Structure 1
Amino acid sequence: MKLLVVGITYLSRINWDKYITMARLYPDSEFRVVFPERSKDNFGKELIGQAADFGNLKFIPLPAYLAQYETGHIYGNEFKKLIQEFRPDVILVEHGAFANSLAQAIWYKKKFSPTTKVIFFTWWNLPYKLPFPRNVIEKYNFQNTVGAITGNMDAKEILVSRGYCNPIEVIPLLGADENTYMRRSQPELREKYLEKEQVGLLYAGRILEQKGILTLLRAIKRLKKLELRTKWKLLLLGDGKLKPVVENFIRENRLEAVVTLLPAVDHYEVIKYMCISDIFILPSETMPYWKEQFGHVLVEAMACENVVVGSSSAEIPNVIGDAGFIFPEKNDEALASILARLVEHDQLRKEFAQKGRKRFLEHFTHTEIAKKTFEACRKFSSLREKIIATT
């Protein structure tokens, strides 16, 4: 199979591993991964794309217009030439259902590679209305794709509600490497932040309202009042606009002895903090404008044998499955109860740490995600387009 992937995600080298793994697993197939040659991240930092050749896999940065907009950008003539010359069996555009680049890929394939099948990936998990011409672009994309991959169940339901009738597979966009994300001793770091025998609780991510940080801190306040026999401490790792509020809450409620607030660190540095912690909490909360699309940090925490505790928001329960604990979102009392039980029961922590690692290995490694994505693309390659309507 010849697969052409279009995804702004691959501007960052850290996200290449799925397709590197896929190319290794399927050496008789050919892969091309295209992304804008430059763009900006969510914090305004400029990103420069890098080309790389792995034999049957090539990463190709291309000139793009409006590259800072995931759904709005389009590519230059080099994209057309690539489709003409490569003539893929499948084009997978990872920019959502109403992306300009998806419509562009469809248009070029019709003119230069008519047997190619086009599919798309989307995370979009909230209901939406589209103004003109976005609604026209989405309808065109729906009519000219043979299938879709969504990163969560809510996104699949959204597509169906909008009239998409073709097959939809639910597969996470990215996995994690089992040899990178694994528990290793970090004695110096642990000694710096945790006492001997102290149970480490961890949150790592953006310090924002929708991440449920205040619910977590209210649960910590409850936990402190319980005066548990086992010592514990929460490490809050990250930055964001809610940080001053968090600092005030910690100070006003005298939580300094049980909460350490730390700045954000490099992605791979987070692994070290997971390796000194025992329990990882993701207390995300659904907002009118946002809900957790996946919670990839849970996958990483399970890989590092943290017991994972997550809210009931969006995809979090599906990621955790039976390998961790779920509390009703915004319910600090329920969260405190779960944390108290885990802090006091060492054997329970060990049991769920192993369950988490097992779930990670079975579902969320690069190998597993690569296999599922490849098989979905191969299945879609044999399908025909259906003319369908959107709501």
Structure 2
Amino acid sequence: MKPGLLLISHTYAALENRKKLQALGAHFDLVCVTSTLEQRMVLGRPSSDFDNENDAPARSYQLIRLPRRGKTDTTFVYEGLGDVMRARRFDVVLVENEPWALVCWQTWFWKALLQRRALFGEFTWENVERPGWKGSVLAAVYRAMTAMTDFIISGNKAAALLVQKHGARAADVLVAPQLGVDPANHQPAKAAERAALRVACGLPADGFIVGYCGRLTDEKGLRELVQACESVKNVKLAILGSGKLEGWLKEQQQSRAWLHLLPPRPHFEIPHFLRCLDVFVLASKPVHTMTMCWEEQFGHVLIEAMACGVVTLGSTSGAIPEVIGDEDAIFPHGDAQALAERLRQVMTNGGAMAQRQLERTRTQYTHDAVASAWAGFIQEKIAA
């Protein structure tokens, strides 16, 4: 009989992300609590593009949708979570969010009251410490969190070190991605297919195309990406997404025929864009202020691009180097000149790098691989 796992996370309100649950269901009698279907805009698209019930007939797990009460991803609680825990016994209760998120404390409360025999675990991505008084407050939160959890899954190495600094035992911490990638819809494109995909995306059918997709914000290094491409000859740059830099990018486009801006797309269409590219770049920059303290926590689009057989370059921000796992693909964050030099290198000889990255993704970053890593770790804790 498979162990019973209750997983609580708003992440699985996204249809594409539930492919990880399907893989996890092979290892556990899995119940997942996520958010109710919503009617709102996400990255400029209706939320129904990202979340619907199309996967319901094939699910290997039970999905329970609960309404959220709260405005942000760290200040909400789930209405009815206690009823879920009253309904049956679980071996493990696992919540995915930052240690200070209200839903983590709500989950711990109901687990302590109604699931006393179950192990309690948390997944966290947080990889930086806050400055000033915020850092002092959060240090106390971390100490409380590590004292209450039986195990922690950290989305990157810095997050693992952070929880260990505040009391977690190294043996109780697993470094693993939250989500994997689906190799069925992330595959390298042959030349003719790539040309057709480019035309369908509104891009030139030929030429060397560098790309980025995601939030259009300054911390994603888009200014440096434009600057780097401007200094490299015979390069086209395709940027897909929405955000605060959209206006600036449109201004740049007016005097740069090689710059192509594409509107946001549903998650399931992102592989079509990635498979158009010769190179994908994530040029993120750290931000350390009292109002915003952030470094790249994983960069899931990196493994999506790698799975599509696209040469993938990343900056030294946060977890990017450990995700890519290839020094030749890394450049200093904020350094447009260094990025330009990397682009020149892969323009002349990028095939071997693309193959290395593709193989890395197939062995470490599929949904099955991620689910197996989680399951092996959690089952060891159950057996201990």
Q: Which runs of 5+ in 2 are unaligned?
A: none
Asked if the contact 2:253–2:260 (Cα under 8 Å) also holds between the matched residues in 1, the reply is: no
Match of 1:98 among 83, 100, 109: 100
Alignment of 1:320-339 (within 5 A): 320-322=324-326, 325-339=329-343
Partner of 1:241: 244
Partner of 1:273: 273
Alignment of 1:119-158 (within 5 A): 119-128=121-130, 130=134, 139-158=143-162
Match of 2:229 among 206, 220, 232: 220
> Please, what TM-score do these two structures have when normalized by structure 2?
0.86
Cα distance 1:367–1:56, how it changes in 2: closer, same or farther (>3 A)?
A: closer
- 1:36 matched to 2:38: no
Residue 131 of structure 1 and its aligned partner are, at CA, apart by: 9.2
2-structure distance, mates of 1:55, 1:218: 46
Residue 176 of structure 1 and its aligned partner are, at CA, apart by: 0.8
Cα deviation, 1:2-58, whole Å, max 9, x if unaligned, reads 1100001112222111111121x33xx311001232566766976788695767510
Partner of 2:72: 69
Partner of 2:366: 365
Cα distance 1:82–1:238, how it changes in 2: closer, same or farther (>3 A)?
A: closer
Cα distance 1:37–1:248, how it changes in 2: closer, same or farther (>3 A)?
A: closer
Q: Which runs of 5+ in 1 are unaligned?
A: 225-230, 384-391
Cα distance 1:285–1:8, how it changes in 2: closer, same or farther (>3 A)?
A: same
Residue 132 of structure 1 and its aligned partner are, at CA, apart by: 11
Asked if the contact 1:175–1:366 (Cα under 8 Å) also holds between the matched residues in 2, the reply is: yes
RMSD: 2.7
Asked if the contact 1:211–1:285 (Cα under 8 Å) also holds between the matched residues in 2, the reply is: yes
For 2:319, the aligned partner's letter is: E
Residue 219 of structure 1 and its aligned partner are, at CA, apart by: 0.8
2-structure distance, mates of 1:96, 1:300: 24
2-structure distance, mates of 1:212, 1:57: 39
- The worse-fitting range, judged by mean Cα deviation, of 298-307 and 34-43 is 34-43
1-structure distance, mates of 2:11, 2:21: 12
Partner of 1:21: 23
2-structure distance, mates of 1:220, 1:46: 33
Other structure's SS at 2:330 match: strand
> Please, what TM-score do these two structures have when normalized by structure 1?
0.85
Partner of 2:119: 117
Cα distance 1:163–1:115, how it changes in 2: closer, same or farther (>3 A)?
A: same
Cα deviation, 1:188-207, whole Å, max 9, x if unaligned, reads 333452253x2221111221
Asked if the contact 1:99–1:137 (Cα under 8 Å) also holds between the matched residues in 2, the reply is: no
- 1:194 matched to 2:204: yes
2-structure distance, mates of 1:292, 1:57: 31
Cα distance 1:57–1:315, how it changes in 2: closer, same or farther (>3 A)?
A: same
2-structure distance, mates of 1:337, 1:63: 49
Alignment of 1:53-64 (within 5 A): 57-64=61-68
Residue 62 of structure 1 and its aligned partner are, at CA, apart by: 2.0
2-structure distance, mates of 1:133, 1:355: 43
Cα deviation, 1:287-309, whole Å, max 9, x if unaligned, reads 11221111111101011110011
2-structure distance, mates of 1:11, 1:160: 30
What percent identity do the matched residue pairs reach? 27
1-structure distance, mates of 2:311, 2:299: 15
Asked if the contact 2:232–2:340 (Cα under 8 Å) also holds between the matched residues in 1, the reply is: yes
Instruction: Give the total of aligned pairs.
Output: 365
Partner of 1:175: 180
- The worse-fitting range, judged by mean Cα deviation, of 174-183 and 47-56 is 47-56
Other structure's SS at 1:237 match: strand
Asked if the contact 2:196–2:205 (Cα under 8 Å) also holds between the matched residues in 1, the reply is: no
2-structure distance, mates of 1:306, 1:207: 21
Asked if the contact 1:53–1:59 (Cα under 8 Å) also holds between the matched residues in 2, the reply is: no
Other structure's SS at 2:242 match: coil
Asked if the contact 1:308–1:324 (Cα under 8 Å) also holds between the matched residues in 2, the reply is: no
Cα distance 1:57–1:232, how it changes in 2: closer, same or farther (>3 A)?
A: same
For 1:187, the aligned partner's letter is: A
